[in-house]
Amino acid sequence: MIDHARFLRDFPMLSGKSMQGRPLVWLDNASTTFKPRSVMEAVDRYYTEFTSNSHRGDYDLCYKMDSLVQESREAIARFINADPTEVVFTSGATASLNLVAFGYGLTHVKAGDEILLTQAEHASNVLPWFKVSEMTGAKVGYIPLDEEGRLTAENLEKAITPRTKIIAVAHVTNVLGYIAPVKELARIAHRHGAILVIDGAQSVPHMRTDVKDLDCDFLAFSGHKMCGPTGIGVLYGKYDLLRETEPFMTGGGMNAKFDMCGDVNYLQPPLRFEAGTQNLEGILGMKAAIDYIESVGIDDIREYEQGLKRYAVAELEKTGMAEIYNAHSEAGIVAFNVKGVFAQDAATFLNSRGIACRSGNHCAKILIDYLGQVATVRASFYFYTTREDIDCLVDAVRHGKEFLDAYF
Amino acid sequence: MPISDMSPEMMREIILDHYSNPLHKGRPEDESLYEKTHADSTNCIDDFDLFLRIEGDKVTDALWDGVACAISTASTDILCDRLIGMGRAEALRLIEQFILMIEEKPFDEELLEEALAFRNTGKQAARIHCATMGWTAAEKVLEDKE
C-alpha cells in the first residue's frame, strides 16, 4: 500500500533535507533510490552482529553468515520467480551484463554472427557487446524502434536473422520508459535459436518480474535502484545457460580444488561466479530492500507510478513550456525539455529550486540519433514520490524562461 | 568595470547575449593554421573544439565549435573575444584571474571585464566545470606553445 506517512518515517532522505536552501525534491530515481532505515540496519547488522566471511570458516558465526547469504538469495529468487541456484550476486546491473557478455557471449558467438540491441539501450548494455563484437568478429545490429521510440515484437521479427545469436534489450528503457514485450521477444528469439538478455535495471524495482513467465534467458538488475545498497546487484540466468557461462573472474570461493599443474575444478553456478569475498553487507541490505518493496506491494507500486506519470505529463503540458518526448510510455519516467532552454541549463535551474533531475543523454548516447535532441531532462519517480513533488517540478518549468536566475 | 558595479541584470544580459548569439562560434576555414584542442565533460553534455591561431607571441584569432550549455557557451565565447589580440603572457594571466574568480579567491577585477558575469557560478557547483573548461583548454594550449 502506498502510505506516504510511513515512507516519511522510514526514509531519512525524505525528511528535512534541503538543496540550495529549498526542500529537496528527489526526481532522479532512475539514477538511484533512497533507502529505508531497515536497509541501513541490515547493512549495519553485518558489522555489529554477523561479521565473518562467507564459506570460509568452520565456526558458528560463519555458518550463520552463510545462512543469511542463502536467505537473501532465496528472497531474490522468490521475488523474480527463479530458483536460488539461478541467482548470482554481482556488483550491479553493469557487472551482470558484463558477465553475460564476457562469460557467455564471448564463447557463444563467432565471426559472422549477430548481436541485436536497440538504440535506446543504456551504455551498460551496449559497450560490453561492442567489446564482444571486437573480440569475436560478430556484428552488432539494432532492432528499429517504432516512431514513438518503442521496441515491438513485430520489429524484432523483421530484424532477426539466422545469424542472430544474442538479443540484449532493456525491459524498461532508461530515458523513455517504454515497457518491452519481453514474453513475445523471448518467443521470437527462441524460435530463431537466439537467447534473450534482459537489462532489468529500470523494471525489476518497479513492476512484477516473473522470469519463468517472461522466459528470458538472462536478467540483470541493481540493488541501489530498488532501495538497496550500492555495489550489489544480481544476474539471473537459466541454470543450463549459467552452466555454459565462463567465470570471468576467478579466485577464492569459486573453485572446489586445483593443483600445481593448473587443473582446476570450478564450483557449480551460482558460486562459480562469486570469486573473492562478496559484498556481504550489500547482500544483507538487498534482502531488506526486497522485504520493504514486498511490504509496499510491487503491483501497487506499478499502478501508483503509472498514475504519477499521467499526472506529471498532464500538468507539464498545461504549462505550455514543456516539450515531452515520451508522453505515452508506461513507466514513471518523463523525458522533456523546457522550450528554448538547453537541458543542462534547465537542470541547473531545477537544482536552484531544490529539484534533483537528470539532464544529458542519460548514458543512452545512441538515442540522440533517434530523438533528434542532443539532451533531455529526465524526471523519474518511485513509490515515495508525491504529487507535491511533481507540482514543484511543474511550477519550476512554468518559470523556465528565468533559467539564468540560478546564478544570481 | 569593478564587480560592485555589475548588477545581476547586467550579468544575465551578458551571458544570454553570448549564449543566444555567440560571436566566435564556428570552425576556421583553414584548420591547419590553428592550434586545436578538445574539451568535454562527464557531468555535462558540453563537447566542443577550441581553435587558437597563434602568430609569434600573439593570439590572432580564436574560435570554438560544438555542443554546450548556456554557461560554457557564453564563457567560451567571451574567452575567445578577450584572447584575440593578446600576447601569451597576458592571456595566461587573464585565464589565471578568471579561474581564481570562479574558485571564489581574490582576483583582479579590472582585467576580467565581461567575464565578471560568471562571478556567481560557484553557486551552482555542478556548472563550475562548464564555466572553466574552455579556459583551461586554452591555458594548456598557451602553455604548451611556450
**What would the grid cell of residue A349 be?**
535551474
Measured between beta carbons, the chain B residues lying within 8 angstroms of A123 are none
Domain assignment present for A64: yes
How far, in Å, CA of A158 to CA of A104, rounded? Answer: 25
Cβ of A300: how many Cβ atoms within 10 Å?
13
Is B4's pLDDT higher than 70? Answer: no
Is B1's pLDDT higher than 60? Answer: no
Residue A352 burial by Cβ neighbours in a 10 Å radius (0-12, 13-18, 19+): buried
Chain A residues within 8 angstroms (CB to CB) of chain B = 20, 342-345, 348, 351-352, 359-361, 374-375, 403-408
Domain assignment present for A128: yes
Picking from A205, A149, A157, the residue whose alpha carbon sits closest to that of residue A180 is: A149
pLDDT score recorded for residue A212: 98
* Beta bridge mates, A105: none
Beta-carbon separation of A407 and B46 below 8 A: no
Which residue among the candidates A216, A227, A357, A363 is catalytic per the annotation?
A: A363
Beta-carbon separation of B11 and A361 below 8 A: no
Distance from CA of A405 to the nearest CA of B (A): 8
Beta-carbon separation of A344 and B69 below 8 A: yes
pLDDT score recorded for residue A267: 87
Domain assignment present for A15: no
Gyration radius of chain B's alpha carbons: 14
Closest chain A residue by Cα to residue B121 = A407
Q: In this structure, are A211 and A317 located in the same domain?
A: no
Size of interface A-B (CB pairs under 8 A): 53
**What would the grid cell of residue A56 be?**
570460509
Query: pLDDT per residue over A46-96, tens digit each?
Result: 999 999 988 767 888 988 999 999 999 999 999 999 999 999 999 999 999
A363 is catalytic: yes
Q: HSE on the CB side for B75, CA within 13 Å?
A: 31
Picking from A100, A145, A107, the residue whose alpha carbon sits closest to that of residue A124 is: A100
Q: In this structure, are A287 and A308 located in the same domain?
A: no
Q: In this structure, are A254 and A336 located in the same domain?
A: no
CATH value at residue A233 = 3.40.640.10
Q: Across the interface, which of A348, A361, A408 has its CB nearest the CB of B127?
A: A348
Beta-carbon separation of B70 and A342 below 8 A: yes
Domain assignment present for A144: yes
Amino acid identity for residue A376 in this structure:
T
Q: In this structure, are A274 and A305 located in the same domain?
A: no
Q: Across the interface, which of A351, A361, A375 has its CB nearest the CB of B124?
A: A351
Average predicted confidence (pLDDT) for chain B? 92
What angle in degrees, to the nearest 10, is found between the helix axes of A387-398 and A298-319? Answer: 20
Amino acid identity for residue A398 in this structure:
R
Beta-carbon separation of B12 and A359 below 8 A: no
pLDDT score recorded for residue A365: 58
Domain assignment present for A35: no
Domain that holds residue A395: 297-407
Domain assignment present for A20: no
Q: In this structure, are A158 and A77 located in the same domain?
A: yes
Q: In this structure, are A243 and A319 located in the same domain?
A: no
For the residues of A21-35, what is the DSSP string, one character each? TEE-EE-BTTT----
Query: pLDDT per residue over B92-146, tens digit each?
Result: 999 999 999 999 999 999 999 999 999 989 888 888 999 999 999 999 999 987 6
Query: pLDDT per residue over B40-49, tens digit each?
Result: 887 777 899 9
Contact call for residues A207 and A219 (beta carbons, < 8 A) = no
Q: In this structure, are A340 and A195 located in the same domain?
A: no
Integer CA distances (angstroms), A72 to A78, A210, A281, in order: 10, 17, 11
Residue where one domain finishes, among candidates A266, A295, A324: A295
Measured between beta carbons, the chain B residues lying within 8 angstroms of A345 are 69-71
Is B58's pLDDT higher than 60? Answer: yes
Beta-carbon separation of B70 and A361 below 8 A: no
Is B2's pLDDT higher than 60? Answer: no
CA torsion, ordered A183, A188, A191, A197, to nearest 10 deg: -70
How far, in Å, CA of A203 to CA of A220, rounded? Answer: 10
Beta-carbon separation of B15 and A359 below 8 A: no
Domain assignment present for A26: no
Q: What is the DSSP letter of B25?
A: B
For the residues of A191-211, what is the DSSP string, one character each? HTT-EEEEE-TTTTTTS---H
Enumerate residues 6+ apart whose C-beta is below 8 A from B97: B107, B108, B111, B112
Q: In this structure, are A175 and A288 located in the same domain?
A: yes
Contact call for residues B107 and B93 (beta carbons, < 8 A) = no
Domain assignment present for A11: no
* Beta bridge mates, A376: A360
In the predicted model, residues of chain A with pLDDT beneath 50 are: none
Q: How many domains does chain A contain in total?
A: 2
pLDDT score recorded for residue B96: 97
Chain B residues within 8 angstroms (CB to CB) of chain A = 8, 11-12, 15-16, 43-46, 67, 69-71, 118, 120-121, 123-124, 126-127, 130
Residue where one domain finishes, among candidates A254, A278, A295: A295
pLDDT score recorded for residue A262: 77
CATH value at residue A308 = 3.90.1150.10
Closest chain A residue by Cα to residue B67 = A374
Please report the domains of chain B, with CATH numbers, ordered by start residue: 3-144 (3.90.1010.10)
